[in-house]
């Protein structure tokens, strides 16, 4: 009986998704788009590998975009869905 209840709870929570964000930076021209990897350094560290991109909340991602907007880059917010 207890196993059925646990199984039902797992099935009902399987549909919940959590949205996080990564910041994609396009430098223009023939350059490959890069993603923000670390934001605690003075120049924000980027990587061309999307799997190494920093997954962050919306407000942190918007702060990273504001920091990059003054440079010659065009940053954009990309949403990523996770199962919670």
CB 51 within 8 A of CB 69: no
Q: Look at residue 33 and tell me if it is in a domain.
A: yes
CB 48 within 8 A of CB 34: yes
Q: Which two tokens stand for residue 15?
A: 């549909």
The 10s digit of each residue's pLDDT in 6-57 is 344 444 555 678 899 999 998 877 688 899 999 887 788 999 999 999 999 9
- Specify the pLDDT at position 8: 43
Q: Which domain holds residue 50?
A: 16-83
Reduce the secondary structure of 18-69 to three states and give it as a string: EEEEEEEEECCCCCCCEEEEECCCCCCEEECCHHHCCCECHHHHHHHHHHHC
Q: Look at residue 47 and tell me if it is in a domain.
A: yes
**Residue 4 pLDDT greater than 70, yes or no:** no
Q: Does 3 or 77 have the greater pLDDT score?
A: 77
Q: Which two tokens stand for residue 22?
A: 């990564």
Q: How many domains does the chain have?
A: 1
Q: Look at residue 8 and tell me if it is in a domain.
A: no
The 10s digit of each residue's pLDDT in 64-78 is 898 888 767 889 999
In this prediction, residue 2 has a pLDDT band, given cuts at 50, 70 and 90, of very low
């Amino acid at each position: 009986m207890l196993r059925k209840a646990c199984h039902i709870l797992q099935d009902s929570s399987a549909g919940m998704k959590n949205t996080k964000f990564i910041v994609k930076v396009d430098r223009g021209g023939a350059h490959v788009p890069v993603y923000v990897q670390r934001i605690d350094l003075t120049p924000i560290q980027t990587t061309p590998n999307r799997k190494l991109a920093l997954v962050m909340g919306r407000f942190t991602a918007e702060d990273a975009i504001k920091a990059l907007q003054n440079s010659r880059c065009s940053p954009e917010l990309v949403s990523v869905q996770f199962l919670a």
